Structure formats: C-alpha cells, structure tokens
Amino acid sequence: MSTHDNVLRVGMVGYAFMGAAHSQAWRTVNRVYDLPAQVRMALVCGRDEPKVAEAAGRLGWDGHTTDWRRLVESDEIDVVDICTPGDSHCEIALAALAAGKHVLCEKPLANTVEEARQMTAAAARAQTAGVRAMCGFNYRRVPAVALMRRLVADGRLGEIRHVRAVYLQDWIVDPQFPLVWRLQKDRAGSGALGDIGAHIIDLTQYVTGQLITGVSAVTETFVKERPLPAGSSGLAAQADGNGRATGRVTVDDAAVFVARLDGGALATYEATRFATGRKNALRVEINGSLGSVVFDLERLNELEFLDATRPAAEQGFSRILVTEPEHPYLSAWWPPGHIIGYEHSFTHQMRDFVEAVATGVDPTPSFADALQVQLVLDAVTRSAERAAWTEVEPALAEVAA
C-alpha cells in the first residue's frame, strides 16, 4: 500500500454533484468504520479558481488546485478520485495509474469502448506494482442490493428466468431546460443510456452473477434543440438570458432494450430522463424458479421477497426491512429500524475501497468489470442504429497485456 504514516492522502478531480457525494463519504468513512488506514482529504481540483476554493472549504478539503496534472503528479497524493464528466476520465486515469496512484473513477468508466480498454489495460499493468483501481457503481453498496445478491447466490431464487430493470427520471422533461454537458455526446458519451442505464446494467449483472450477451434496443431523443446554459450545478441549470441561443442535443433521452444473460435469463431494461413525475426511480425485479425479489431505490431500506417453496396458501411477497446489524454494511450504523439514505452508499463504497487498498486486495467493481458494462452500452447503441439484435463484444484477455 502506498501511504504516508498509514494515511491515504486523497486528491479529487471535480467538485459538483458527484464530488460533493464523494466528499461526504471521504469525510465520514473513518468516523463510522474501523479501517486499516486513515483518509486525509488532501486536495481537490476544478477549473474555476474562486469556485474550487469555495468548494474546498465547504466540502472539507485541505487544499485546492486548478491543474489536475499537478494533483496527479504530487508526491503528497496516494489516491486520485475522478468525479469529472466522462470525456476526461481516460486521460486523468491513465496519468494517475502511470504515476503509481490508486484510482477511483466514477461511472461509466469512459465515453467509448476504446478508452475503457485503454484504462483497463493500464489498471492491469499498474496492478502488478500494487496499484489498485475501482469504478464507482455506488448502488452495489446499498445494503438491500447486497442482500439481494446474497439471496440469489445462496440459491433462494433457484434458476433465474427473468430480470426486469428500469431507471426513470424527469429532470429534462421541460424543453426549455438548458443544454448542459450531460446532453452533449462529446462530453457525456451518451444520454440516459450511459448516465443511468449503466447503473441498472451493472446492478443486475452484479446481483444475478450473469453477464449480458446480446441486446435488441431502441433509443429516442425527444427534444433535439435546447437553450444554451448560462450556468449549471449538478442536475440544475439556468438558460442563457436572451432565450434565443440554442444548441443541438446529441445524446439519447431514453433507451429501451431486451437482453439475454449468459445464465439463460431474459431481461428488459428501460432508462429515461423523460418519465414525468419520476425523480430517481430505479427498480429491479428478479424472477426465479424458487422465488422472486424486488428492489426499489425510492424505498432503499426494503426488499420484497417471495419464497415459492412455501405452501401455496402462505405465499406472497414479504417486506424485509434491511436495517439489522446482520445485514451488509449496517453493523456500524444505527439500531434496527433506523433507516439510512442515498449518501450512505458512497460511504460504503469508500469503506470497501480503503480496505482493499490497505490490505492489498483488488477492489470491485474493477476497471475490467466497468469495461464489460461499457461493452453492453456500445452494443445497445449499435443495436438501436441498426434496428437489429446485437451481440455484446467480449472483454478480451488482451486488455491485461
């Protein structure tokens, strides 16, 4: 482990929505969990000097810079946390790994399969020198999701037959909402597909232990021109004052696809930012030969579970309140029945990452795992363009060369 006096000195690039979520987790993780290393929030980076200086003070960072290369190359940094738009993930991650820094990178891993392959190959090379890399699919760390995975792994659902996943938002329903970076392909890579579809792709593969092998997809852009933004923060933005300057939306607003998984299951996926009235509605249902299980992010402390091995007269979906100390991650939090929230998934993510780095274990999801998600995103895009069934490209072993 590369540390200074058993301290992991973290440098974070980006300080908006994800940067704020990551900052809270870095601030909290050692106060909740007994870990083999202490985290020091050493340096945060952003392009705007006044704004990043303000963010450093507000979010709890010791210092700030406007030059990510300075952060990556600094001898005072052990971990580089990448919270920027997707168009900069590859360059920053490659530089950080080459400099011997451990890397945590937000999802999706990159904007293209080619970039994701480069990053995965670099992580494999760095691994030989003890450098660790992880992609930040935080919903894996929701205790109810981790319990869902355990139920499947323990055979409680039997043979998995159906996977049904949706992620629904509505924050760009208004056609006057400005053209923020998430609506530009050169910055974001894709729209709803990569932004929120990546989450349900990773989550369902993680829970079932099965990989998507082929897809048939359609995508749609409902609003093709939008006002240029005067400013934005997270998922909020303001249009240019004159209201006349517009730009073209170059990503999908919605993506829908069916898929086959390598264990034989059939799956359906929907990702949209045009589901009017839905704010952050991620829902996954898995049907097996011996039972079913349902997770709803808007009720993230609960699972619905049906045990089909019980007598027919006693069957029905039961509500599991996932707040017991025996449930994943929860022994360090509150008494049973005292619920947790969205931000805790990031604290759990940092716990797992710090433990892995400090003990010399490869964290998950790895860059190779994230590459596989990228390959599914690419197959969905190609399928929608061709209106045809499309196989997911294999994550070839050569990436580790």
Examine the fold and report which residue of 83, 118, 138 is the final residue of a domain before the chain moves on.
138
Residues 157 and 131 occupy one common structural domain: no
pLDDT, residue 105, reads: 98
Residues 237 and 323 occupy one common structural domain: yes
List all residues 6 or more positions away from 58 whose beta carbon is below 8 Å from its beta carbon. none
Residues 163 and 282 occupy one common structural domain: yes
Report the alpha-carbon distance of residue 390 to residue 376 in Å, rounded. Answer: 10
Report the alpha-carbon distance of residue 218 to residue 216 in Å, rounded. Answer: 7
Give me the CATH number covering residue 153. 3.30.360.10
Residues of the chain predicted below pLDDT 70: 1-4, 231-244, 397-401
* Cis-peptide, bond into residue 365, ω within 30° of zero: yes
Residue range(s) defining the domain that contains residue 192: 143-299+301-340
**Averaged pLDDT score across all residues of the chain:** 95
Question: Within a 10 A sphere around the Cβ of 269, how many other Cβ atoms?
Answer: 25
| Number of domains the chain is built from | 2
What is the tens place of the pLDDT at every residue in 16-55?
Answer: 999 999 999 999 999 999 999 999 999 999 999 999 999 9
CB–CB of 15/59 below 8 Å?
A: yes
Cα dist. 192→60, 135, 157, 160, 222 in Å?
Answer: 31, 19, 30, 27, 12
Token pair listed for 383: 């399928």
Token pair listed for 342: 């969205």
pLDDT above 90 as % of the chain: 93
Q: Tell which residue, 141, 121, 123, has the closest CA to residue 133.
A: 123
pLDDT, residue 1, reads: 44
